[in-house]
Amino acid sequence: MSTLVAASAGNVLVWIVWVVAVFSCLGSGIAVITFSNPFYSALALIGNLGSLAVMYLLLSAEFVAAAQVLVYAGAVVVMFLFVIAYVGPRRETPWSGGPSWQTVGAVGAAGALLVEIVVAVGMQANGSLHSDGKVGAAFGTPAWVGRVFLIDHLLAFEITSVVLLIAAVGGVILGSHTRRTA
């Protein structure tokens, strides 16, 4: 009986954490696309990434959550903030008049995309997304991820490193001073 009470209390706690994470995730996502200053958009992206990391933890993906915080909040957003500071404060020119046909079409297209995803996933899942089942204690830990990554998916690991190298070289070429073609 006491274990049952403890389990339901834990369930309520997980639900509360989940609801808070979802609201902060979607709210900061909307903030990213509505702030007119890109600096604030980049700061809102940090909140989005943090709440996503909380959801990864609830899904027992500890290593991915840690990598998310390190790679995104630690590297990607900092790079964004540096470039925004370098480019300088450029506010977007406000829309003249009411919403243009482009905005209306964009909202319609995004809504259609959302409906399409929900319908496609719902039809494909066909109610099979309700099973639970416990995972082993090792699921999502760094040792387990390392084993899966370096034994089962070694080729993906190597290709990922090559992609990162090519991107770094491309970034240097794009940003180098010596290239004058203008």
Partner 1 sequence: MLGPDVAWYVAVAAVLFGIGALGVLIRRNTLVVLLSLELMLNAGNLALIALSRHWHNGSGQIFALAVMAVAASEVCVGLGLVVALNRRRLSLDVDTLSELRG
Q: In the window 80-109, what residues touch partner 1 (CB under 8 A)?
A: 80, 83-84, 86-87, 90, 92-93, 102-103, 105-107, 109
20 binds partner 1, rule: CB under 8 A: no
11 binds partner 1, rule: CB under 8 A: yes
Count, residues near partner 1 per rule CB under 8 A? 88
> Least distance in Å: CB of 143 to partner 1?
12
> Least distance in Å: CB of 1 to partner 1?
19
Cα separation, 128 vs 119, in Å, equals 14
**Options 96, 126, 131, 178; binder of partner 1; rule CB under 8 A:** 131
**Positions in 153-182 near partner 1 (CB under 8 A):** 153, 156, 160, 163-164, 166-168, 170-175, 181-182
124 binds partner 1, rule: CB under 8 A: no
**Positions in 39-78 near partner 1 (CB under 8 A):** 41-42, 45, 48-49, 52, 55-56, 58-61, 63-64, 67-68, 71-72, 75-76
Half-sphere exposure of 57 (CA within 13 A, CB side): 13
> Least distance in Å: CB of 141 to partner 1?
11
Burial class (CB in 10 A: 0-12, 13-18, 19+), 65: buried
